[in-house]
Amino acid sequence: MTPLEQLVRPNIWRLAPYSSARNEYSGRNARVFLDANENPYNAPFNRYPDPLQLEVKQRLSKVKGVSPEQIFLGNGSDEAIDLPYRCFCEPGKDNVVAIEPTYGMYKVCADINDVEYRPVLLDDHYQMEADRLLAACDDHTKIIWICSPNNPTGNSIDHDEMVKTIEQFHGIVIVDEAYIDFSAQKSLRTELNKYPNLIVLNTFSKAWGCAAIRLGMAFASKDIVDIFNKVKYPYNVNQLTQQQAIEALADPYEVDKWVRLLLQERSRMMEAFRMLPICQKVYPTDANFFLCKMTDAQQIYDYLVDRGIIVRNRTHVQLCGNCLRVTIGTKSENNELLAALRQY
């Protein structure tokens, strides 16, 4: 790996972070807060939240098996996707490489940050080859994006190809594991200490059932987390979100229950789709959704919308012609979808 000092943009490396009022006394036994120009009334909403979310990180650390200083928390994964561009990529000069098809936000953030985005097509089984990703890189490639289980295809990316990419690439490899809780595969975050150039993304939006609170996680070396913390907005995760996360983390077994239920429903739905005359193929999945090739995705999509049922039309995505992406809902929601499709 290229030394971090050379990967990070020079202005970011030199950056002196904003020092908030709440940062400066830490560790002391504070009782009277007259430092931040807050209103003393209207507790608990009157106080600025912990800028580094230490209590959330301590609890998360136990659930995820990653030490608190290797955790970055952001306003959804969106923030953890945008920050690497701002920290590592010189606009108009650097580039990133990504598997294709994949989650759309990597490209949106590249475009916003004026960073060239180099997609590398997956094969017919939606698998990637490390050598093809590496061949797309040059001296200005700062980041390789991988998503596993991948969205919208649903499958996990081959572990050995991901490791080969991490080991052989000189820059940062980001593996987005938003759907890892639904997968039988081992998370790459357990190998974090082996790879200083690895960033693993997780989110509260999927298995944890908390999309509304906007809380995303990045697991990485302490050095990378420190850089993200320097660049992020000082109070990027609000107090209500931190409280709700602490509550959710107190009961991880509830999440396990949801996941088991959703995996059962996933098998049932995939089996039912295979029997539909309008369904030509159901792709293997490790996530809480599956991709399926239909006889006419656009018409079926429109038909479902007319009945108030929304799935994701992926027909215009590369390698996904005539494909719909179906999220697993409650049993009754799933039944509604099946009933509608059987009447098509």
Ligand X SMILES: *Cc1c(COP(=O)(O)O)cnc(C)c1O
Asked if the bond preceding 234 is cis, omega within 30° of 0, the reply is no
Shortest spacing between CB 15 and ligand X, in angstroms = 25
- Using CB under 6 A, which of 49, 101, 154, 216 touches ligand X? 216
Q: Which stretch binds ligand X (CB under 6 A): 87-95, 204-212, 220-228, 237-245?
A: 204-212
Q: In angstroms, rounded to a whole number, what is the distance separating the alpha carbons of residues 109 and 118?
A: 13
Kindly state whether residue 244 participates in binding ligand X, applying the rule CB under 6 A: no
Task: Tell me how many residues contact ligand X (CB under 6 A).
Answer: 13
- Using CB under 6 A, which of 103, 117, 273, 301 touches ligand X? 103
Is the CB of 211 or the CB of 250 nearer to ligand X?
211
- Using CB under 6 A, which of 176, 181, 265, 286 touches ligand X? 176
CB 332 within 8 A of CB 294: no
Shortest spacing between CB 151 and ligand X, in angstroms = 4
- Using CB under 6 A, which of 30, 112, 121, 211 touches ligand X? 211
How many residues in total does the chain contain? 344
Residues 281-320 that bind ligand X (CB under 6 A): none
Kindly state whether residue 205 participates in binding ligand X, applying the rule CB under 6 A: yes
Degrees, nearest 5: CA angle 23-27-32? 75
The burial of 234, by beta-carbon neighbours within 10 Å (0-12 exposed, 13-18 middle, 19 or more buried), is given as middle
- Using CB under 6 A, which of 52, 59, 64, 77 touches ligand X? 77
Shortest spacing between CB 147 and ligand X, in angstroms = 5
CB 49 within 8 A of CB 215: no
Angle between helices 252-275 and 239-249 (to 10 degrees): 80
Is the CB of 198 or the CB of 341 nearer to ligand X?
198
Pairing of strands 116-121, 141-147: unpaired
- Chain position carrying tokens 């969106």: 78
Residues 121-160 that bind ligand X (CB under 6 A): 147, 151
Q: Which stretch binds ligand X (CB under 6 A): 34-42, 71-79, 113-121, 271-279?
A: 71-79
Kindly state whether residue 82 participates in binding ligand X, applying the rule CB under 6 A: no
- Using CB under 6 A, which of 122, 178, 227, 326 touches ligand X? 178
Exposure string (b/e) for 256-266, b if CB count within 10 Å is 16 or more? eebbeebbebb
Is the CB of 9 or the CB of 288 nearer to ligand X?
288
Q: In angstroms, rounded to a whole number, what is the distance separating the alpha carbons of residues 111 and 240?
A: 31
Shortest spacing between CB 126 and ligand X, in angstroms = 14
Residue least distant from ligand X (Cβ): 76
Question: E strands along the chain, which residues?
Answer: 71-74, 95-100, 116-121, 141-147, 172-176, 198-203, 216-219, 279-282, 289-294, 312-313, 323-327
Q: In angstroms, rounded to a whole number, what is the distance separating the alpha carbons of residues 57 and 131?
A: 36
Is the CB of 49 or the CB of 101 nearer to ligand X?
101
- Other Cβ atoms less than 10 A from the Cβ of 12: the count is 14
Residue 291's DSSP bridge partners are 325
Q: In angstroms, rounded to a whole number, what is the distance separating the alpha carbons of residues 182 and 263?
A: 7
Shortest spacing between CB 179 and ligand X, in angstroms = 7
Closest among 281, 282, 283, 315 to 298, alpha carbons compared: 315
- Using CB under 6 A, which of 55, 78, 90, 226 touches ligand X? 78
Is the CB of 205 or the CB of 221 nearer to ligand X?
205
Shortest spacing between CB 217 and ligand X, in angstroms = 8
Q: Which stretch binds ligand X (CB under 6 A): 25-33, 41-49, 74-82, 137-145?
A: 74-82
Is the CB of 213 or the CB of 270 nearer to ligand X?
213
Q: Which parts of this chain interact with ligand X (CB under 6 A)?
A: 76-78, 103, 147, 151, 176, 178, 203, 205-206, 211, 216
